[in-house]
Amino acid sequence: MVVLPRTTEEVSAILKLCDCHRIPFVARGSGTGLSGGALPEEGAILIVTALMKQILEVDLDNQRVIVQPGVINNWVTQAVSGAGFYYAPDPSSQIICSIGGNVAENSGGVHCLKYGVTTNHVLGLKVVLPNGEVVTLGGKVSEMPGYDFTGVFVGSEGTLGIATEVTLRILKSPETIQVLLADYNHVEAAGATVSDIIAAGILPGGMEIMDNFSINAVEDTVKLGCYPRDAAAILLIELDGTTTEVEESTTQVVQICRQNGARAVAIARDPQERLNLWKGRKAAFAAMGRLSPNYYVQDGVIPRTKLPYVLGEIERLSREYGYPVANVFHAGDGNLHPLILYNQSIPGALEQVEALGGEILKLCVRVGGSISGEHGIGADKRCFMPDMFSDTDLETMQWVRTCFDPHHLANPSKIFPTPRTCGEAARNPSPHPAAARF
């Protein structure tokens, strides 16, 4: 069953019925999530927030807006850009992904290096708990007394309730923005450049790397004509701030790029050229259809200093498994998005590709990183949670979940591993202590 509420009151009424009859439910926005977090697995009711798409309040004086969860990410900036403001978190899917989903996954974007991910821009939430009770978490100011329940809720992937109103922080548009494109003969050199720029005390608005697979896929699809097709990798760097600051930083960044072997460094000459450079980056995932009938995307985080090593290891794993891997990622904060190219019609290919993706996630953890930066755990990566967290860690998370949702009706079976949901007795030979208890 699918229901499409329009108000907090309607969501509350639905969840009260679910609680009374012990019916599981899954909240779903635009459905752009990549980890299977919004997919119902247990005959649950699907609560779709697509009709909850009102911008309820715009308060420019206090730099905040209040929106319903179905509001599309890009609509927020459109609502305030005329007054010189914008909403910073900008996932590649920002023209179609909804704020509710961004809150659930703690989504990032190309500007998360300098400005942070969704949790850094959510001031408060109106939430319907799984029993139908309506509560307010946080508020309209950045610092609130008491426990940080807003921080707990953002990134909880729909397992603690449904947000029906979200108070967002908006930012004043910078005085000057400059975008540079550096191209390299080796992707590891692009990664080393990222570390050197940060080490020099420069904090760009964003730094993104695309490898040769991605470059050519984008050029074939979007036909921008601004990416060098023969480059092993390109590094996109956006600098923003006052005009003097941007000019000085641009000079330093160009020098650092050349010291790391950049063949050329191009600087966007006008806003349209700057827009085109980012348009190509944001089209990269969709453009992979030019290279392969299917692809499998992962989402892991590593320390910036490990970029050259990890990129080399991903290339080694690609050769070992026999599947090409395209790399497109938020290089500034080490958030990798390797895309494994394959043909699903070949028997056994998906299983091999999933195994390769798992090895990449384990690699991220080994070098001190994480199995997710912004796509969440959902159903896809729950089996890898024990690679990152101890039994005690996972049990503690389950205690928090149970405080909000004692009957585990909200998005059941997501995030946390069990032999049943993972379908692998070998990896999980016995039920997790927390799973058995809850």
The CATH architecture annotation of domain 2-172 reads 2-Layer Sandwich (3.30)
All residues at 6 or more sequence positions from 237 whose CB lies less than 8 Å from its CB, including other chains: 179, 180, 181, 182, 197, 204, 206, 207, 253, 257
Instruction: Express each pLDDT in 94-119 by its tens digit.
Output: 999 999 999 999 999 888 999 999 99
| Whole-number Å distance between alpha carbons of 281 and 348 | 31
> In the predicted model, is pLDDT for residue 429 greater than 60?
no
Instruction: Express each pLDDT in 49-95 by its tens digit.
Output: 999 999 999 999 999 999 999 999 999 999 999 999 999 999 989 99
Q: Quote the mean pLDDT of the chain.
A: 92
Assign 304 a pLDDT band (cuts: 50, 70, 90).
confident
Pairing label, strands 206-211, 233-241? antiparallel
Task: Select from 248, 185, 208 the least CA-distant residue to 92.
Answer: 208
Instruction: Express each pLDDT in 315-370 by its tens digit.
Output: 999 999 999 999 998 888 899 999 999 999 999 999 999 999 999 999 999 999 99
DSSP lists the bridge partners of residue 336 as 300
pTM of the model: 0.91
Q: Do domains 2-172 and 183-281 have the same CATH topology?
A: no
**pLDDT of the residue at 286:** 87
**φ/ψ (deg, to 5) at 170:** -110, 155
**pLDDT of the residue at 269:** 86
> In the predicted model, is pLDDT for residue 305 greater than 60?
yes
Q: Could you tell me what percent of the chain has a pLDDT over 90? A: 79
| Whole-number Å distance between alpha carbons of 236 and 277 | 8
Task: Select from 133, 142, 164 the least CA-distant residue to 403.
Answer: 133
Task: Select from 67, 90, 69 the least CA-distant residue to 27.
Answer: 69
What ranges do the domains of the chain cover? 2-172, 183-281, 287-366
> In the predicted model, is pLDDT for residue 258 greater than 50?
yes
Note whether 334 and 379 are within 8 A (CB).
no
**pLDDT of the residue at 42:** 77
| Whole-number Å distance between alpha carbons of 105 and 378 | 9
**pLDDT of the residue at 428:** 40
3-state secondary structure of 173: coil
Compare 145 and 9 and report the one with higher pLDDT. 9
The CATH architecture annotation of domain 183-281 reads 2-Layer Sandwich (3.30)
Q: In the predicted model, what is the mean pLDDT of residues 375-386?
A: 94
E strands of 105-195, at which residues? Answer: 122-128, 134-138, 162-169, 171-172, 176-184
CB count within 10 Å of CB 48 equals: 18
DSSP lists the bridge partners of residue 328 as 210
Note whether 101 and 33 are within 8 A (CB).
yes
DSSP 72-115: BHHHHHHHHGGGTEE-----TTTTT-BHHHHHHHT---TTHHHH
DSSP lists the bridge partners of residue 122 as 168
| Whole-number Å distance between alpha carbons of 215 and 235 | 11
- Domain 287-366's class? alpha beta
| Whole-number Å distance between alpha carbons of 347 and 295 | 15
How far CA 213 is from CA of 54, 179, 291, 316, 349, in Å, comes to: 40, 22, 8, 16, 20
Instruction: Express each pLDDT in 203-245 by its tens digit.
Output: 999 999 999 999 999 999 988 888 999 999 999 999 999 999 9
> In the predicted model, is pLDDT for residue 141 greater than 90?
no
How far CA 68 is from CA of 62, 99, 163, 273, 307, in Å, comes to: 19, 8, 8, 33, 38
> In the predicted model, is pLDDT for residue 403 greater than 90?
yes
Compare 143 and 369 and report the one with higher pLDDT. 369
**Residue found under tokens 């704020």:** 99
